[in-house]
Amino acid sequence: MDSSDAEVIATSVLRLARLQRVLYSKDLRDKLQPADLQVLLALWLAPPATVGELAIAAGIEPQSASRSIGRLTARGLVRTAADGSDDRRRRAQRVTPAGRRVVMAFLESAVPLIERHARDSSRSPIL
């Protein structure tokens, strides 16, 4: 990798990190923790999923995914049921209609933030 490629990659990583902070600092009415939002989005994209599958998809530890599922279930955003396999212990998570509404509200609120971030990033080579 030459220095020009390295600069592009480093700049992209910094921009993504800043965008992530902006998105998570957005005061959503639902006030989800970042890991909870990651799990909810991952589950919305690829339902149904086990806790282990969600941890991988969300990029978090299985213990964190399990805690997030507990919080999301308590809020009625996710439900857990047998996954239909022969193993009765195996459970799969599904997004509820309320969870889908939260995801859509988040995505709709994210669009202007992403657009603004893209405009600001074009003015500043790094941030």
Query: What residue spans define the domains of the chain?
Result: 3-123
d(CA 18, CA 16): 5
pLDDT tens-digit readout, 34-64: 888 889 999 999 877 888 888 898 888 999 9
In one-letter notation, the amino acid at residue 4 is S
User: 3-123 maps to which CATH number?
Assistant: 1.10.10.10
- Cite the DSSP H helix spans in 75-96: none
pLDDT tens-digit readout, 96-116: 999 999 889 888 877 777 777
12: burial class by Cβ within 10 Å (0-12, 13-18, 19+)? Answer: exposed
**Which residues does 51 contact at the CB level (< 8 Å), separation at least 6?**
62, 65, 66, 69, 91, 93
Task: Report yes or no: 38 and 60 within 8 Å, Cβ to Cβ.
Answer: yes
The backbone torsions φ and ψ at residue 85, rounded to the nearest 5 degrees and listed phi first, read -85, 175
d(CA 55, CA 13): 22
The backbone torsions φ and ψ at residue 30, rounded to the nearest 5 degrees and listed phi first, read -90, -15
Token pair in block for residue 55: 């941890």
Using pLDDT thresholds of 50, 70 and 90, give the confidence band for residue 29.
very low
Give the mean pLDDT of 61-81: 92
